[in-house]
Amino acid sequence: MSDTRREFIAAIDQGTTSSRCIVFDRDGRIVSVGQKEHEQIFPEPGWVEHDAAEIWANVQEVVAEALERAGITREDVRALGITNQRETTLLWDRATGEPVHNAIVWQDTRTDALCRELGRNVGQDRFRRETGLPLASYFAGPKIRWLLENVEGLRERAEAGEILFGTMDSWVIWNLTGGPDGGVHVTDVTNASRTLLMNLRTLDWDPRICESLGVPMAVLPEIRSSAEVYGEARGALAGVPVASALGDQQAALFGQTCFSPGEAKSTYGTGTFLLLNTGSEAVNSYNGLLTTVGYRIGDQDPVYALEGSIAVTGSLVQWMRDQMGLINSAAEIETLASSVEDNGGAYFVPAFSGLFAPYWRSDARGVIAGLTRYVTKAHIARAVLEATAWQTREIVDAMEKDSRVELTALKVDGGMTSNNLLMQCISDVLDAPVVRPMVAETTCLGAAYAAGLAVGFWPDTDALRANWRRAAEWTPRMEADVREREYKNWLKAVERTMGWLEEEN
């Protein structure tokens, strides 16, 4: 090592359920972690909100905690990276820094009707060519429009330039760099690619779409690369360059070092997101996937990705714990599911916010199908885990159709990968090996890598690849005829979720 002083990169992961700060060393190893959950606010069925002030307070707390646990000061931190829950939408007052409303979370379905209306006679692919996305309540643009229409006087203030929009990357960076006192208002290409407002080819806001959605361009942040210095932090990290921003799923792609076209990863957290690097080509999907920006390093060309998004996976386990009370901890789902041989004929399709990829059906709602008097809570636990596996299978099938690349192995990460039964089940239904790296916190790692590249802490992506180490691997054990039968049953259950909501009014 050339330098004598110990130096580190810190990454903030502002997630859906918690905020984390992780300190990494030069080998990409975790030195310390600070983490804090925030409140999930459910004002009405289908609505999900976060208190952005609470989130900012938590972010500051976890940063201090991580530094303290590592026994380092801000002088030891070479750069700070940011990663975040994507699409979650906030508008705040430029002068005071106060949010004008709770943040509307990506899972929130309140803009369903608005999206249908925006699709008009063209349908949900109205902006797909420009944005790579279907018109769905998942994305930020319609959420901005909802806020402008539903918060008293907000549209006028927005048009007068008093209001700023941001996803959580923008909110955190703006506050870190001074807030009302000179904070920089930026986002990165990956986060911007989830708004329905950015043109994938120009990597800039699309004025025509902004107009169609009724979003004044004055509220929008500047779109920057994923790895570059946006500004210097103030406060506890005073002087540390803020040097990366990536949506959490793109950060995981980066952290898994999927730098070549054809490399893919799947992250199992609140939801599950499978991203395939497609290189310099933005591949259109004809099978219900999203075209998105994977990352952009400095002024290099952007790298695109195909994405399969599943709204509910880990959150179904949380639901079993918090709403149903069938387990006391997330880990217990494995114990319970392992107490039986199979699902006993039950299938659980958790279409709580409609169905995301590959269906994009907002009229779907959850079902448990195949119930008989025989089924126990253990069978349901098994069905819960299998739901994650089958949803993965559907995405992989769509990806193979769109990319014509056959999956040879799947790199996985995220909180659910500590569940062995689930990992085995995924390998079984995909009929492919599943591999997990040593650092399963790939989201933070990816943000740290990007920040480290931006300040020259790591020389290039090859140096990062050398850090990737396999920790565990699962290989398929399921008979082909069982796989086929179960997949067919799963698809039948999926069909039963559709059309549950009928068009209101």
Ligand X SMILES: Nc1ncnc2c1ncn2[C@@H]1O[C@H](COP(=O)(O)OP(=O)(O)OP(=O)(O)O)[C@@H](O)[C@H]1O
Binding residues for ligand X, per CB under 6 A? 13, 15-18, 85, 269-270, 314-315, 317-318, 330-331, 333-334, 414-416, 418-419
Q: Which is nearer to ligand X, 11 or 455 (CB)?
A: 11
Beta strands in 85-192 (DSSP E): 90-93, 103-104, 163-166, 186-188
Does 117 carry a binding-site annotation?
no
d(CA 472, CA 31): 21
Residue 138 annotated as lining a ligand binding site: yes
Judged by beta carbon distances under 5 to 8 A according to partner kind, the member of ligand X, Mg ion, none in contact with residue 318 is ligand X
Residues 148-177 close enough to bind Mg ion by CB under 5 A: none
Own/partner pairs for 211-217, CB < 8 Å, 24+ apart?
A: 212/118, 212/127, 213/118, 213/141, 213/142, 213/144, 213/145, 214/145, 214/148, 214/149, 215/141, 215/144, 215/145, 215/148, 215/165, 216/148, 216/155, 216/158, 216/159
Shortest reach from residue 417's CB to Mg ion, in Å: 12
**Partner from Mg ion, ligand X, none contacting 317, C-beta within 5 to 8 A by type:** ligand X
- Of 258, 298, 297, whose CA–CA distance to 278 is shortest? 258
In the complex with ligand X, the residue whose CB is nearer, 31 or 251, is 251
Q: Is position 15 an interface residue for Mg ion (rule: CB under 5 A)?
A: yes
Shortest Å, Cβ 297 to ligand X = 23
Going through 172-302 in order, the beta strands assigned E by DSSP cover 186-188, 198-199, 204-205, 222-224, 227-232, 241-247, 264-268, 272-279, 290-295
Q: Which is nearer to ligand X, 233 or 422 (CB)?
A: 422
What is the C-alpha to C-alpha distance for residues 407 and 360, in angstroms, rounded to an integer? 23
CB distance 110 to 146 below 8 Å: yes
Site string for Mg ion, 229-268 (x = CB under 5 A): -------------------x--------------------
Interaction partner, residue 302 (ligand X, Mg ion, none; CB < 5-8 Å by kind)? none
Dist CA 34 CA 12 (whole Å): 9
CB of 381 to ligand X, least distance (A): 10
* 248 is known to lie in a ligand binding site: yes
Does the annotation place 314 within a ligand binding site?
yes
> Pseudo-torsion of CA 386, 389, 394, 396, nearest 10°?
-170
Q: Supply the minimum distance, in Å, between the C-beta of residue 390 and Mg ion.
A: 22
Read off the DSSP letter of residue 355: B
User: Which partner from the list Mg ion, ligand X, none does 418 bind, CB cut-off 5 to 8 Å by kind?
Assistant: ligand X
Closest to Mg ion by CB, 15 or 221: 15
| Residue 497: contacted member of ligand X, Mg ion, none (CB under 5 to 8 Å, by partner type) | none
Give the span between the Cα atoms of 146 and 149, in whole angstroms: 5
Which among ligand X, Mg ion, none contacts residue 333 (Cβ within 5 to 8 A by kind)?
ligand X
Q: Which residues are annotated as a binding site for ATP?
A: 16-18, 270, 314, 318, 415
Which residues contact Mg ion by CB under 5 A?
A: 15, 248, 269, 443
Q: Which residues are annotated as a binding site for glycerol?
A: 86-87, 138, 248-249
